[in-house]
Amino acid sequence: MAKPLEVDTIWSQRILNSVNGLEYGTVQIVVHDGRIVQIERTERKRFESEAALRDRDSSDGKPQQRNHRS
């Protein structure tokens, strides 16, 4: 039977710090023998394609900026 997990204020703060500011990604909590031993944070950055940016800009009336290279 698994041991009950107790999360003290130190681990609670560590978990909150890992989640704060995370826009896209995951936070994994690793537990061994009923104790938290590790927190893993994976952050993803999402970038819109140039076409999506043009579509968004044209739909809200902002002037479109295009960078042409000769």
Whole-structure pTM over 0.85, yes or no?
Answer: no
62 falls in which pLDDT band (50, 70, 90)?
low
* Coil vs helix vs strand at 22: coil
Mean pLDDT, residues 16-24 taken together:
94
Q: 39: which 2 tokens? A: 């927190």
Question: Can you tell me the distance from the alpha carbon of 43 to that of 1, in angstroms, rounded to the nearest whole number?
Answer: 34
Alpha-helical (H) ranges within the chain are 9-19, 50-59
Q: Are 35 and 19 in contact (CB under 8 A)?
A: no
